[in-house]
Structure 1
């Protein structure tokens, strides 16, 4: 079965891509808005806004994943897109920093509920097993492409207009996404089996605690967040204040990191056919430790060059891809089939919890104590996460390939649950 011959999937995938790029453009514009309102203290504003985002994802996403099959899904997705469009439209009108925090809270609450609900729909529309696998791959490609192309599109747009127009464009994108959702025939989910939402969310956390390779992934989440926060939070101030760049230059520097991510993601499928996932992910952790050390050197030694910064940002992007891309494979290989939904939901929350730790460090400490000290702290966190992962995930305890781990937590759900449950948390 040809995947994109399925009309409803084609429309939903289009909605996902448009919403993803809207979110990516909003992130770039938000950093520039923070700089416009707060100047040198933009790091605090952006760090706080992104911390609010992580709080929403950690608290709301697991509940949304558990309840995704109990809602009128087409109406719910439409309303979430409408809320996001309205919030983004209001962002360029703000005049006070606290306005940003309220609007970002609303925007990210809607996004945190949208993702698990959207993915719960896919297996009900794409019923062929091979086509469903391709749908999951297409979704991952969309996320990867967004990380590269959103900053590039923003950079091009900013050569022609002010950043406020990016908000208007992304609001229109969310509206188009909402209309595409309405144009699909999304069936309501089958009646609930009675499993409590919090039981499902908690079971995934227990699985992580009991499984060596998943404990290792928890530590690697911290490595990714520590290095990634340098790029996401500090790029705008570093490019504008240290390198003396423009709004467009900020977007291009973010694109340098996205380029590294994309190149690594494209090369990894063949690599993972020959090298176990643990080796690849630990290599990625080493790359990120090197990237954060390079960032510290740039500031501490005064080596503030465009080439050096772009190279470091690309290195961080490569390291992030080496860890993030194989994660799903390790999760699937580490637990029984019926425990996969709760495990993916737990990883979603735990990975965002790591960012909840590092975003405030990058934003608040970066503004008050300076970038050299802040990036040194983040480099120490990355190194600590790497060493912890090596200790928690011994090389003989499963590599994310092959049969289910002997240490995996037994499935907690009835055998009759189908793969639609997986998509709620994936």
Structure 2
């Protein structure tokens, strides 16, 4: 059970810190969309698209640099300082009156977030070394994100009935401040420092991604999530206000429907993952996202009518369900694919590469909607999602065991690492163990090489 994890006080504090920061961020998601609409009106989608594109550029470029130094700074102090920075930035957002100011503050806010998130993600497996506990922690993390998606818009809708949306930014700052206080009270183990030059430390995560088949498949999944998620993040405000004729509360309601779909799936995933494994669950989630995009396209072609509200709620919830099925097992896949010393770099690489997919889809959702409307935009995103799931199926082999039998050439590896290997001849050793890309295993063995090693 997920609740059994909370007996670990350090994990409980970190989880609560995550929830606090997430709820603050959720309020900003609603408020930023309304701020863009206040300043830009019908062009709000283009403004949001640009702001979120800036966010993605920062995420793609900053995270690998941070990972290179992750083992060389006290992680607790680092996380606290980043939360303080984020709180200060969001407190400035209610006072802006120019669109360019949105772009500047978003760049500052997301630079801190790009440093915070992968560092936080890499801490959790150090606190929970047991695989089953970590799997449940991943579901708890997704559930927390889901509850934020569900409840933050509801809280925002209630608040907007009595206050201006500008005050929602104050709620965000409070969330970051509470998160910082909880991290201060948490015992966070020191990181295992990766060795090598700065260039090697920056690129090691990308190298592991490029060489590991299941991670190449994960890249395709990232594109599917981004294609469907950009519809939710960028287009909800304009779809509700301009097509459905809804109010600020209507925006919050659709975002809450998306969160409700995510919550239903996240609650059921721990047992499903134990039984089925990550690959079938994530592929099912990707297929669900493509189904949601297809339904959104059909909805964009529909004639006016109040029934569209119910249909939109169902579509937004379907996208939420598919997102949970893909994102929840991702940390498990990353942990399985790396040594502890390389884990911060791999989490940072996933952070950057997943947001590179958003960097592609956010401008499409923002700028193409303004120029060509919802139908053309959502059809384009559906094509990208179909390409993503095709990559995932082709790159991630159906048979993907943890342990691989492979050959090492004598003289190319420290003999101390081959104490349990079998000498085949004067040239090769046969070795079987959990296989990941690292300093001793620079590439993935081919099927022919594995068959030769097993012979």
Q: TM-score range by the shorter chain?
A: 0.7 to 0.9
Q: Name which of structure 1's ranges 345-354 and 272-281 shifts more when overlaid on structure 2.
A: 272-281
Residue number in structure 2 paired with 1:154:
156
Residue number in structure 2 paired with 1:281:
282
- Larger RCO (CA within 8 A; separation ≥ 6): 1
Equivalent pairs, count: 407
Q: Name which of structure 1's ranges 382-391 and 49-58 shifts more when overlaid on structure 2.
A: 382-391
CA distance in 1, matches of 2:5, 2:277: 29
Q: Is the 1:68–1:116 contact (alpha carbons within 8 Å) kept by the matching residues of 2?
A: no
Residue number in structure 2 paired with 1:51:
53
Mind listing any 5+ residue stretches in structure 2 that lack a counterpart?
407-434, 442-455
Structure-2 change in CA distance of 1:386 and 1:119 (3 Å): closer
SS in 1 for 2:181: helix
Q: Name which of structure 1's ranges 174-183 and 251-260 shifts more when overlaid on structure 2.
A: 174-183
* 29, 32, 42: which one aligns with 1:30: 32
Q: What is the CA deviation profile of residues 269-312 of structure 1, one whole-angstrom value per residue up to 9, with x for unaligned ones?
A: 22223334322222222211111111111112336610111111
Q: Is the 1:4–1:10 contact (alpha carbons within 8 Å) kept by the matching residues of 2?
A: yes
SS in 1 for 2:329: helix
Residue number in structure 2 paired with 1:76:
78
Q: Name which of structure 1's ranges 283-292 and 248-257 shifts more when overlaid on structure 2.
A: 283-292
* 1:384 equivalenced with 2:383 (yes/no): no
* 1:373 equivalenced with 2:400 (yes/no): no
Residue number in structure 2 paired with 1:419:
none
SS in 1 for 2:234: helix
Q: Is the 1:335–1:405 contact (alpha carbons within 8 Å) kept by the matching residues of 2?
A: no
* 1:403 equivalenced with 2:402 (yes/no): yes
Structure-2 change in CA distance of 1:348 and 1:16 (3 Å): same
Residue number in structure 2 paired with 1:63:
65
Structure-2 change in CA distance of 1:81 and 1:413 (3 Å): farther
Q: Is the 2:94–2:169 contact (alpha carbons within 8 Å) kept by the matching residues of 1?
A: yes
Q: What is the CA deviation profile of residues 171-217 of structure 1, one whole-angstrom value per residue up to 9, with x for unaligned ones?
A: 22222333334445657x47946434442342222222222222111
Output the aligned Cα RMSD.
2.8
Q: Is the 1:339–1:412 contact (alpha carbons within 8 Å) kept by the matching residues of 2?
A: no
CA distance in 1, matches of 2:227, 2:299: 17
Structure-2 change in CA distance of 1:138 and 1:335 (3 Å): same
CA distance in 1, matches of 2:333, 2:209: 12
CA distance in 2, matches of 1:184, 1:390: 40
How many Å apart are 1:8 and its aligned residue?
A: 5.3
Structure-2 change in CA distance of 1:214 and 1:184 (3 Å): closer
SS in 2 for 1:348: helix
Residue number in structure 2 paired with 1:222:
223
Q: Is the 1:54–1:353 contact (alpha carbons within 8 Å) kept by the matching residues of 2?
A: yes
* 1:325 equivalenced with 2:324 (yes/no): no
Mind listing any 5+ residue stretches in structure 1 that lack a counterpart?
415-426
* 1:257 equivalenced with 2:267 (yes/no): no
Residue number in structure 2 paired with 1:269:
270
SS in 2 for 1:289: helix
Structure-2 change in CA distance of 1:404 and 1:91 (3 Å): farther
How many Å apart are 1:115 and its aligned residue?
A: 2.0
* 367, 391, 400: which one aligns with 1:364: 367
CA distance in 1, matches of 2:76, 2:153: 30
How many Å apart are 1:335 and its aligned residue?
A: 4.9
Equivalent residues in 2 for 1:14-25, closer than 5 Å = 14-25=16-27
Q: Name which of structure 1's ranges 225-234 and 72-81 shifts more when overlaid on structure 2.
A: 72-81
Structure-2 change in CA distance of 1:7 and 1:280 (3 Å): closer
Residue number in structure 2 paired with 1:423:
none
CA distance in 2, matches of 1:240, 1:64: 39
Residue number in structure 1 paired with 2:415:
none
Q: Is the 2:63–2:352 contact (alpha carbons within 8 Å) kept by the matching residues of 1?
A: yes
CA distance in 2, matches of 1:190, 1:264: 32
Residue number in structure 1 paired with 2:439:
412
Larger Rg: 2
CA distance in 2, matches of 1:147, 1:27: 9
Residue number in structure 1 paired with 2:450:
none
